Amino acid sequence: MIVDDEPPARDRLARLVDGLAGTSVCASIAEAETVVDACRSHQPDVVLLDVEMPGIDGIDLARRLRRLSPPPAVVFVTAFEQYAVDAFELAAVDYLVKPVRAERLARALERARNRPLGPGVTLRSRLGERVLAIPVSEIRALIAEDKYTVVHFDQGEALVDDSLVTLEQRFGRHFIRVHRKALVARRYLRGLYRDADGQERVELDGCNCRPPVSRRNLTLVRQALDDKPETELPE
């Protein structure tokens, strides 16, 4: 999502975003007052946010976006350098000074994609009268089963009512689809192997679940493994 009161700035950013592989603009907004509602509707992964705008400024708007669940990543895009300290105090992913270069924007969006989920972002599983809050940051895999989704996390398994499609829309930047019935967490992705029947499967850190990988998603999984830093370890 792009938020900037100047049409030329919005158009230029949109062209840059559309020119990057795997990215697209879900909404381009001029009025800061409408952004929170737009985020609830579009569920953007990232908001590219100007600072100096009429009405609500970008710093105040970023504070409001942090209250959403899940909150989008915020990348400030502005002509002014003096707001950088305020931006990073709000846990902004990055701070870009106009005019923005495509390669710099690509690094910011990659940083946003790899940012960890906060401990307060959870899925809720109802067990009889008990409700279990599962931190999304601890989830290894999500497997579709009938009308439910099985959640594999560090304490075991649980069922949630949300469909796999809904969960992918909400948390897609943190998970990768390996099969039409399976999503796995990028941060826990460890490797690929072929079982005795010739089926490709993924290995996940801290989980015995080994979801199958479809042929159409095999290249995507291999790319995700290639993109993982060698020093990355689950927390």
> What pLDDT, on a 0 to 100 scale, did the predictor assign at position 119?
55
pLDDT digits (tens, 9 = 90+) for 15-73: 999 998 778 899 999 999 999 999 988 888 899 999 888 888 888 999 999 888 778 88
Write down the pLDDT at residue 233. 41
pLDDT of 117 reads: 62
Q: In the chain, which stretches have pLDDT less than 50?
A: 231-235
What pLDDT was estimated at residue 196? 94
The per-residue pLDDT for 9 is 94
pLDDT at position 203: 96
- Domain extents in the chain: 2-113, 123-227
Which CATH number is associated with domain 123-227?
A: 2.40.50.1020
The distance in angstroms from the start CA to the end CA of the chain is: 30
Q: Domain 2-113 classified CATH 3.40.50.2300?
A: yes
**Closest listed residue to residue 182, CA positions, set 206, 199, 165:** 165
